Structure 1
Amino acid sequence: MPRFSVIVPVFRVQGFLRECLDSVLEQSYRDIEVIAVDDRSPDGCGAILDEYAAGDERVRVLHLPENVGLGRARNAGMPHATGDFLFFLDSDDTLTPGALRAMADRLAESADPDVLVFDYARTHWWGGTRRNVLAHLLAQAAEGTFTAAERPEILDLLMVVWNKVYRRDFVEREGFTFPPGYYEDTPWTFPVMLSAERIATLDRICLNYRQRRQGNILSTTSRKHFDIHDQYERVFAFLDSRPALASWRPYLHTKMGEHCLDILSKPDRLPSSDKGEFFRRTAELFREHKPAGAVVPPELRVLEGGYAAYRVKRQAGRAGRELGRRAGQVRGAAAVRAARGRSVVAAHRPLDPDLVLYAASSHRGVLGDPAAIHRKAREIAPRLRGVWVVRDEEEAATAGLLPPDVEHVVLNSPRHHRLAARAMYFVNDVNWPGGLPKRPGSVHIHTHRGTPLKYMGADLLDKPGARLGLDVPQLLRRADRWDYSLVANRHSELVWERAYPCHFTSLRTGSPRNDVLVGGGGERGAAFRLRHGIPAGHTVVLYAPTRRDYRRGGHVDRFDLARFAEDLGEGHTLVVRLHPGLAAGPARGLGLAELHRRGVLVDATGEPHVEDVLLAADLLVTDYSSLMFDYALLNRPIVVHADDWGAYAASRGVYFDLAAEPPGHVSRSYRELAWLLASGTWRDEESARLRAVFRDRFGEYDDGHAAERVVRTVLLGEDGWVPGPPTAEEPPAMPSADRDLLTSS
């Protein structure tokens, strides 16, 4: 008996059907059966299904003699299901890689609940991907099982059938089936969720919900949307048959009103001539099923009046929004004029020689090279007043990026404009906003964000894919404000002067944020291990992939992280850190967050300071991330996984051939990567030789005094300053316990 019965109703999807079936049949988890129901599709779907059934014994095809609709096609498949769990997959949607394995693991962990709810992402026809905005509800309920009464917020998720799997004997015992109609998911989902005694969640994107440009039946203009009333009649009939669920009537009464008004508010759902009738039918249903003594929410009180009053309120709302928009434009224009006026006034006041404005990572908080310079300035030049410019002070503080003893100001606030007009020094690792004028005498220090491997700045002009959405001329106009460009090696110096043809001076300072890597900082690595519960003596393998310009969204799974963690074996901990540009997107929801919760690996993407992660690692596995240049300073092994080097180099452009001049061994496939680690080759003499050459080339100016060099020579103007002896003559070695483990055979 298979674990999953995947029931796929099929009608007029011949252009999407193969992708759907491949996403199921190519899953690494194979204990499944697929029951494909040809709902008398008039196109080539039936032949495609027969082809798949002939090639894979797990596929069974039912050809219905007549078209019965989505819900009853699902019903037709259910009697043929033999799996432990039912999964109803729409034939134009797809599973994400590893989805069934993640579901199976979560079901086993939660002892086979009645229902497992998982996450999804909307994939738009134009290429964009957007994660479910209520995904946090799944994370909050990630431990154990519960009922809807214990966590009613679970019903706020999209009430559809395909974001869940259902224990088959639970469905059969309760006699759940799908009714006919447009909105057949509604009278299935509410009864199922309210009846389930054990619900579990999986905080992982398991399904790509295709947003078709045309063809979505719920987005077409039709009288068929009146079906929603019949479906809620079925929901209330179910409540009448289950007295124990009577307490849910007020909730469902409100849900019904909200759902119907949402349909009515959409301009493309109902013919204009039918909207009055739809409103009246909704109002009748609302009155008919109103619980005794129920308090109607303010937004639904319109259903207690007539259609004319509803239209007046809608029109008033649109007019109010338009007035608000225009008022906002007026206020915005007035604010711009006021800011310009303040700038004109401030421009006649002298610059404050002790005022330094800092920003990093697009104003996220106290990070990177600017943070290292700020710390050193507070230490050796306390007279300097350092103020951080942040985009969102609450968000920065919550993320641990805004220490309470750091003076800060919110971007584009009046106080920010006043300080920017007076500051002598500006330190940033990305460009300041275009509206910031550069006063004569002020000094802009640009730290960059690491050593460049991929094309940057003006070099992107002949890489249209990589510069999608990037205005290179505007970028260069902002770079015209730079006075100093900090570099860690001659390679960076040459690249920056070519990529940013502007009038700045290159300073061979080293990278301030890497001072801690050169000077030790072992306690920070130990603190990271302790914080994440990494056992003493474990070898920490850090996997740090970068984003891809040849894929919209930037995220590409190179291999199965769960398998990688398992293949590392006992005594190893896998730590994963995605590119910062992927931290807030759907990438972490494609399994990383769930694997972290289960203790399979450590997700360090949200760690505020990457230096702590590097210090905790004994081995870096990366593809083309600039972290390799920083990590090399630790003199610890690096493996480059370059299975798509050709595609990456062609789409983005690179300044040198990393595969020919790597910091360690290079793998071209997952099999090669696994062999390098299992055989111990990753830490052999050739690895050390490659690393030494790489470190000498790209760590040329990193001596542990970069931050102090910037403070003394630029902020304090100490000409001729020479640092004392290096903090450490050799890069800090890994912890002794780990070193002993790695050198044993």
Structure 2
Amino acid sequence: MSVIVPVHKVQGYIRQCLDSILDPDLPNLEVIAVDDHSPDGCGEILDEFAERDPRVKVRHLGENVGLGRARNIGLDMATGDYVWFFDSDDYATEGAVRAILERLAETRPDVLVFDYARAYWNGKVKRSIINDLFREPPAPDVFTLAERPSVLEMMMTAWNKAIRREFLLDLGLRFSGGYYEDVNVTYPILMAAERLSLLDRVCYIYRQRRRGAITKTASAKHFDAFAQYDRIFEFMDGMGAKADPFRPLMFDRTIWHLLVIIERPDRVHESEKARFFAEMSKTYERYEPAGHVPPDDKPFLADKHRMIKAGDHRGFERVRAAEAKDKTRNRGGKTAKIRRRGVLLGKELAKERYYQMQRRLPIEEDLAVFAAYWYRGYACNPAAIYEKVRELAPDVRPVWVVKPRARRTMPEGVDYVVAGSAEYYRTLARAKYFVNNVNFPDNYVKRPGQVHMMTQHGTPLKKMGLDQMEYPVGANDMDFKALIARSDRWDYLVSSNPLSTEAWERGFPCDYEMLEIGYPRNDRLVAADEDERVRLRAELGVPSGATAILYAPTHRDYQRRYTPMFDIGRVADALGDGHVLLLRAHYYYKIKNMAADLGWPEGRVIDVSKHPSVEDLMIASDALLTDYSSVMFDYANLDRPIVVYANDWETYRLTRGVNFDLTAAPPGVVAATEAELVEAFTSRAAWSDAAAKSLANFRARFCPWDDGHAAERAVRRMFLGEKIPNPPQ
């Protein structure tokens, strides 16, 4: 079987798509991926798959030709007995490809039809509502459409069918351009087939993307449906009397589909609906079979048919209004549940009213809000962008939002407001620009004219956003609907590398502009010099000549409190006097001074968990020891050794979910035991040629845009309104 996958702007989904198809135990399979001049990273991802799996063949197109023509190109390349046209943002269920091949071998049909399910962005998966057609009545292994005409009522797409290639080529059918390019192929093949077969199994997951689906975009292109159905009836005319039994059902399917298009609010513009209806009436008049009786299996359907036949658009709208009224009446006593807001008392009520009042006043076009880590202080990408704003956009007035305790950590000369104060609410209500590495609180209301930049705060080795729904331990009862509502505020989302772009597109399917510019906070690392390193080491108390190892572990969702993965005191002793551990616990944990509390070797374990700048710590150190923290992606810019302690990799992978196998492509040495960890440093394996090669490959993959100018690109795009190369050239 040849699986034909046209690919365009799906870099967040194509890996799952191909992984679901490429069953490693099926050699009699080829995947033909047609890169339809995709402007994102799809082409590189396809080449990556082709390099490691000879069953994958890639064709890169020099121009965007659209789904139909891309499928035709793939068909011309195919060599399999059967072809399966697969959409690149969908995926196959586990074992589906094997089950399809087995059914094809058993029945040798012209067309095999199998079932599908819809996967929604909120995590719900629902099997097709017509799945009973696979079983009622029981179908023989092989049959014709005349023997089982209900097959025409199944989904008219190409992706729920495996088609005998020579059969399709002999019919001379080709996918057309425009919308609904499936139907002029999928209906005719069912009519022409001498051998049809069914597989009562969900083999295909049809992803209902929150945004980006072409056919769910209001456009005049939905008028393409009329030409597609003209082609179907022209094919039936060529069949002669053989097509007569199918005409009534095909006609009803045509009108059903056109009704779906005109009645959905996201298809035809309101101003175009009268014209679309007029075309429906012409179609009705042109193709209505003799003696046709309008279907009445659903309320008001027969009335709609009569209005279409009469060309009465106003009458059609009256029927639709009556239908809507009837649905409301049937809901009857079901009163809508009203979610009551908590009662605001005293100061909280006054703050809310003050905030509402401020939102009625004009936006201050020069005011910008900066924040990081839930108002913990001055840090990360927002801090780097802030500094570049002061340099490149001096007319902008930047103000930070911080918690009360963070006031003492703010650098001199940096203006700030305290979260919860009156000035805080005034600033949120009136500012033009907002920069944060996490989301602002739920009660923040984004006004028209306000502009948001989300920088994030790390490359996502772990699953993020909606991807976390499959990992309940990591999700920790997260309210994904609220998460997406917060993310809908973003106008710009910063991506540090291609992996991040893929993960953000999947995890946060919102309407923002992706800024593939590198990480602003890494500008310092790229520009760091020896003088700065020496100064920072002295400030931290690192002994002269010692090897300073920055130990920065990540948070583990399956742990209730911070528990080191190895005995830090014992490792410090084993490393000896020539090494110093700079311990940087994850910011989730409230820790005073573990080195002092636990009696670790004084001077050889320095607790830097509360140090305000992790960039300072990276520059001061000689090597990094981490597990799965995103700090490794930043640290790679320094081109210094990285040791990954992966003693619980499988547990972390299964509970949190990951976007790639770190142990297969690490930035240096991987240690699974405490002894291996110590050996990596004492034997200098972390500084070996093999480790350096791994780091170079890692850096090329994950730091391609970190050139010291990421903050400048962010400022020029958001604050100065300039077009920038995206990604950097």
Normalising by structure 1, what TM-score?
A: 0.50
Instruction: Call closer, same or farther: CA 1:701–1:593 in 2, change over 3 Å.
Output: farther
Tell me by how many angstroms 1:705 deviates. Answer: 0.5
The CA distance in 2 between the partners of 1:389 and 1:630, in whole Å, is 25
Q: Deviations over 1:688-735 (max 9, x none)?
A: 11101110111111110111111112111133589999xxxxxxxxxx
The reply on whether 1:565 has 2:596 as its aligned counterpart is no
The answer to whether the 8 A contact 2:469-2:475 is kept is yes
Q: Does 1:412 align with 2:420?
A: yes
Q: Which residue does 1:396 correspond to in 2? A: 406
In the TM superposition, residue 528 of structure 1 has moved relative to its aligned partner by 2.6
1:689 corresponds to which of 675, 690, 693: 693
Matched residue type, 1:579: H
Match of 1:387 among 399, 410, 414: 399
Q: How many residues align?
A: 388
Alignment of 1:454-603 (within 5 A): 454-553=462-561, 555-582=562-589, 584-585=590-591, 588-589=593-594, 593-595=597-599, 598-603=602-607
Instruction: Name the residue aligned to 1:439.
Output: 447
Task: Provide the rounded CA distance (Å) in 1 between the counterparts of 2:676 and 2:459.
Answer: 27
- SS of the aligned residue for 1:602 comes to strand
Question: In the alignment, is residue 618 of structure 1 matched against residue 622 of structure 2?
Answer: yes
For 1:389, give the aligned amino acid.
V
Cα 1:420/1:671, change in 2 over 3 Å: same
Q: 1:695 to 1:720 in 2, by over 3 A?
A: closer
User: Are 1:370 and 2:382 an aligned pair?
Assistant: yes
Cα deviation digits, residues 245-267 of structure 1 (max 9, x gap)? xxxxxxxxxxxxxxxxxxxxxxx
Q: 2:723 aligns with which of 719, 723, 732?
A: 719
Structure 1 distance, partners of 2:422, 2:552, is 39
Distance 1:592 1:687, change over 3 A: farther
- What secondary structure does 1:357 align onto? strand
Match of 1:628? Answer: 632
C-alpha distance in structure 2 between counterparts of 1:722 and 1:502, whole Å:
19
Counterpart of 1:578, as a letter, is: A
- Which residue of the partner structure matches residue 272 of structure 2? none
Cα drift, residue 343 of structure 1: 4.2
Separation in structure 1 between the aligned mates of residue 470 and residue 591 of structure 2, nearest angstrom: 27
Query: 1:334, CA displacement in angstroms?
Result: 4.8
- 2:624–2:643 contact (8 Å) kept in structure 1: yes
Deviation at 1:644?
Answer: 0.8
Instruction: Give the Å deviation of 1:669.
Output: 0.8
Distance 2:368 2:662 in 1: 38
Q: In 1, Cα distance between the equivalents of 2:434 and 2:530? A: 31
TM-aligned CA distance change 1:397 to 1:413, over 3 Å: closer
Sort the Cα spacing of 1:337 and 1:603 in 2 relative to 1 into closer, same or farther, 3 A: closer
Q: Which runs of 4+ in 1 moved over 6 A?
A: 721-725
Are residues 504 and 592 of structure 1, via their aligned partners in 2, closer, same or farther at CA, if it must alter by over 3 Å?
A: farther
Measure, in 2, the Cα distance between the counterparts of 1:543 and 1:365. Answer: 22
Do structure 1's residue 644 and structure 2's residue 648 form an aligned pair? Answer: yes
Distance in 1 (CA, whole Å) between partners of 2:539 and 2:486 is 40
Residues 389, 416 of structure 1: 8 Å contact kept:
yes
Match of 1:659 among 647, 659, 663: 663
The partner residue of 1:675 within 660, 674, 679 is 679
Q: 1:721 to 1:505 in 2, by over 3 A?
A: closer
Distance in 1 separating the partners of 2:724 and 2:678? 51
Gapped regions of structure 1 (runs ≥ 5): 1-328, 726-745
SS at match of 2:556: coil
One-letter amino acid of the counterpart of residue 396, structure 1: A
**For residue 518 of structure 1, what is the amino acid of its counterpart?**
V
CA distance in 2 between counterparts of 1:343 and 1:523 reads 48
* Kept in 1: contact 2:519–2:706 (CA 8 A): yes
Aligned partner letter, 2:389? A
Instruction: Measure the CA separation in 1 of the matches of 2:450 and 2:563.
Output: 42
The one-letter code of the counterpart of 1:378 is R
Specify the alignment match of 2:437 in structure 1: 429
Q: Which amino acid aligns with 1:353?
A: E
Q: Does 1:701 align with 2:719?
A: no
Residues 467-476 or 622-631, more deviating: 467-476
- Residues 142-176 of structure 1: CA deviation (Å, up to 9, x unaligned): xxxxxxxxxxxxxxxxxxxxxxxxxxxxxxxxxxx
Kindly provide the CA deviation profile for residues 628-682 of structure 1, in whole angstroms up to 9, marking residues without a partner as x: 0000000011111111101111111111100001001111111112222222211
CA contact (8 A) 2:517 2:726 kept: no
* CA deviation after TM superposition for structure 1 residue 625, in Å: 0.9
Q: Secondary structure at the match of 1:466?
A: helix
CA contact (8 A) 1:575 1:604 kept: yes
Which residue does the alignment assign to 1:133? Answer: none
Q: CA deviation at 1:487?
A: 0.7
Contact 1:562–1:600 (8 Å) recurs in 2: no
Query: Which one-letter code corresponds to 2:585 in the other structure?
Result: L
Task: Report SS of the residue matched to 1:581.
Answer: coil
- TM-score, with structure 2 as normaliser: 0.51
**Any conservation in 2 of the 1:388–1:409 contact (CA below 8 Å)?**
yes
- Aligned to 1:346, which of 322, 337, 358? 358
1:655 & 1:713 partners in 2: Cα distance? Answer: 29
Please report how far the alpha carbon of residue 362 of structure 1 lies from its aligned counterpart in structure 2 after TM superposition. 0.7
Report if aligned partners of 2:515, 2:726 keep a CA contact under 8 Å in 1: no
Q: 1:160 maps to which residue?
A: none
Tell me if structure 2 keeps the 8 A contact 1:525–1:613.
no
Distance 1:686 1:623 in 2: 19
CA distance in 2, matches of 1:579, 1:524: 25
CA contact (8 A) 1:543 1:621 kept: yes
Distance 1:600 1:720, change over 3 A: closer
Instruction: Look up the SS of the partner of 2:501 in the other structure.
Output: helix
Output one character per residue of 1:597-639: Cα deviation in whole Å (capped at 9) or x when no partner.
Answer: 8323111111110000000111111111110000000001111
Check conservation: 1:543, 1:622, Cα contact below 8 A: yes
Instruction: Give the 3-state SS of the residue equivalent to 1:465 in structure 2.
Output: helix
